[in-house]
Structure 1
Amino acid sequence: MTTHSVNSPQFFLTAPSACPYLESEMERKVFTHLVGPKASELNDLLTQGGFRRSQNIAYRPACETCRACISVRILADEFKPGKTLRRVTGANTDLISTDYAAEPSTEQYTLFRKYLGSRHQSGGMAEMTIGDYAMMVEDTHVNSRVIEYRLREPGDGIAENPAGRLVAVALTDVMGDGLSMVYSFFDPEETKRSLGTYMILDHIRMAQARGLPHVYLGYWVKNSPKMGYKTRFQPQEHLMPQGWRRHEG
């Protein structure tokens, strides 16, 4: 197995491919491997520098003509939800979240396939098998967790594992300065719950409880409708050429 020092990781550049967010653009990515005993330390440094993790790979856009992808992190310790976001929390008081080691399950995969079939039928993940899903969850050398959200059943809070129906899942990295939401999915039929928004709110709550200042949301693209939700969580910072800068919007 190839190993890399946190002080001297090896970086590689992908070939150009069609951008999934802006139809007129081509994307390239720079990436490195997150392996070895210092993988978590390297993941922290790279995430703070605008990288994202996928399995044991850290990557960030390196497009030749476009700089539209902006890294976003919520300032969790300053966050106070407005009326609309408080309503989302109120609509999900019957859910219970449980933090597990990064281990996949058939139940998670069934929900994952249902989510993809409704939201991302033609995306890059559309053909993922249960083996592919398992690799996405467990192929990690960093401190990764799976957060399951289930309907609350009588006895939950006493039993070790909640037994209610699974409605949402988040794959999350625990870092020295925050939580990084690597990937999340939910039951697309539960439209009134706004589960995607609720999971972000719950991660802000978890960050606050742990004394962590940030929740990392990945990339925001100004002209991409599918990315617009990320600016709802204020205050937040965007990674600019000058470093992390407060963004109001």
Structure 2
Amino acid sequence: MRHTLPLAPQFYVTAPQPCPYLDGRMERKLFTALQGEQAERLNDALSKQGFRRSQNVLYRPSCSECAACLSARIDVSRFVPSKSQKRTLRRNAHLERRATSPWASEEQYALFRRYLDKRHADGGMADMDVFEFAAMIEETPIRSRVIEYVDRESGDLTATCLTDVLDDGLSMVYSFYEPDLPQQSLGSFMILDHIEIAREAGLPYVYLGYWVPNSPKMGYKANFSGLELFRQGTWMPRREDDDFSAEISPDGTDPIAEQVANISLPDTRG
């Protein structure tokens, strides 16, 4: 009788570099390759454990000084839009959603460049050229979509999100939008629309990436009801009185070997 062994990906750790969210801290990531016939199952399993996808790599923060980067997702069944979010939906009612295969276009790249130059000129993607942009969009071994938002009257591309379809939700891998329309709150609008897409598809969650307590860059994610955070190995609803001092304090985290040993991998034995 033939048996297939469980997936056994190799995990690696990046060299420390300055943290983009907390001054004076150093960040480090635990990562593994995403490839082969079982790529989707591996991505589904690790996404539920705080990992994120970047092209053909799955990664999770594994900093030696803190654990402040918390994976965040929205429980669609518990989400109720606020008055402000309802206004955001009305302000963007003129945008048409278009879901396409993960192919990059010149129009997307032009919007991406305007977004970076205005919002993240000193960020890690600031020097990304058109070929690197195409790789970010197109190099995916799993089921991914590009969700475009187009102005119905002008036909202009206003916002774009690279989205992975998981077995339990949608993962917003990377989004960008027209930076000269701050009054439209396009970042929040895309999250609101992804909640609606997930609801229509019967998917329970929308994965938002990482949320960092006390980081202004991440503050908008806390405005969504039904938000859950991956803390201490499990998903917990975020509450207003949550104490994140244990995550932010530089007391160190579990050794890498222990972290890897605690990762649950999908079993492909038949």
- Match for residue 25 of structure 1? 25
Asked if 1:195 corresponds to 2:160, the answer is: no
Determine the structure 1 residue equivalent to 2:166: 175
Q: 1:65 deviation in Å? A: 1.1
Confirm or deny: 8 A CA contact 1:111 1:187 kept in the other structure: yes
Q: Greater relative contact order: 1 or 2 (C-alpha under 8 angstroms, separation 6 or more)? A: 2
User: Corresponding residue for 1:158?
Assistant: none
- 1:242 shift after superposition: 4.5
Contact 1:52 1:58 in 2 (8 A): yes
Which residue does the alignment assign to 1:8?
A: 8
Structure 1: unaligned runs, 5 residues or longer: 154-162
Is residue 102 of structure 1 aligned with residue 93 of structure 2? no
Take 1:248 and 1:84, find their aligned partners in 2: how far apart are those partners? 20
Using the TM superposition, give the Cα deviation of residue 9 of structure 1 relative to its aligned residue in structure 2, in angstroms: 1.0
**Is residue 2:76 matched to residue 1:85?**
no
1:51 aligns with 2:65: no
Per-residue CA deviation, residues 207-239 of structure 1 (Å, 9 max, x unaligned), is: 000000000011100021000001111112111
CA distance in 1, matches of 2:191, 2:6: 29
Residues 146 and 169, structure 1, Cα contact 8 Å, conserved in 2: yes
Cα deviation for residue 192 of structure 1 reads 1.4
2:250 match:
none
Q: 2:222 corresponds to which residue?
A: 231
Q: Which amino acid aligns with 1:53?
A: R
Question: 1:246: which partner in 2?
Answer: 237
Distance in 1 separating the partners of 2:79 and 2:20: 30
Q: Which residue of 2 aligns with 1:159?
A: none
Q: Whole-Å Cα distance in 1 between the matches of residues 239 and 9 of structure 2?
A: 34
In the alignment, does 2:120 pair up with 1:129?
no
Give the number of equivalent residue pairs: 236
Tell me how far apart the structure 1 counterparts of residues 93 and 237 of structure 2 sit (CA, whole Å): 31
Pairwise CA distance, 1:24? 1.0
Scaled by the length of structure 1, the TM-score of the pair is 0.93
4+ residue stretches of structure 1 with deviation over 2 A? none
Which residue number in structure 1 is paired with residue 200 of structure 2?
209
Residue of structure 1 equivalent to 2:139: 139
Paired position in structure 1 for 2:259: none
Corresponding residue for residue 72 of structure 2 = 72
Q: Which residue of 1 aligns with 2:60?
A: 60
- TM-superposed CA distance for 1:23, in Å, is 1.4
* Equivalent residue, structure 1, for 2:112: 112
Q: What secondary structure does 1:135 align onto?
A: helix
- RMSD of aligned C-alpha atoms? 1.1
Deviations 1:44-87 (CA, angstroms, capped at 9, x unpaired): 11111000111110000110111111111101122110111000
- Separation in 2, partners of 1:104, 1:135: 8
User: Which deviates further from its counterpart, 36-45 or 179-188?
Assistant: 36-45
- Map Cα deviations across residues 151-190 of structure 1 (whole Å, 9 max, x no partner): 014xxxxxxxxx7100000000000000000000000011
| Mapped partners of 2:109, 2:119: distance in 1 | 15
Which residue number in structure 2 is paired with residue 156 of structure 1?
none
Q: Secondary structure at the match of 1:245?
A: strand
Distance of aligned partners of 1:242 and 1:104 in 2 relative to their CA distance in 1, 3 Å threshold:
closer
Q: Tell me the CA shift for residue 6 of structure 1.
A: 6.6
8 Å Cα contact 1:77-1:212 kept in structure 2: no
> Structure 1: how far apart are the matches of 2:189 and 2:175?
11
Identity of aligned residues (%): 52
* Cα separation, 1, equivalents of 2:190 and 2:205: 15
Letter in 1 for 2:98: T
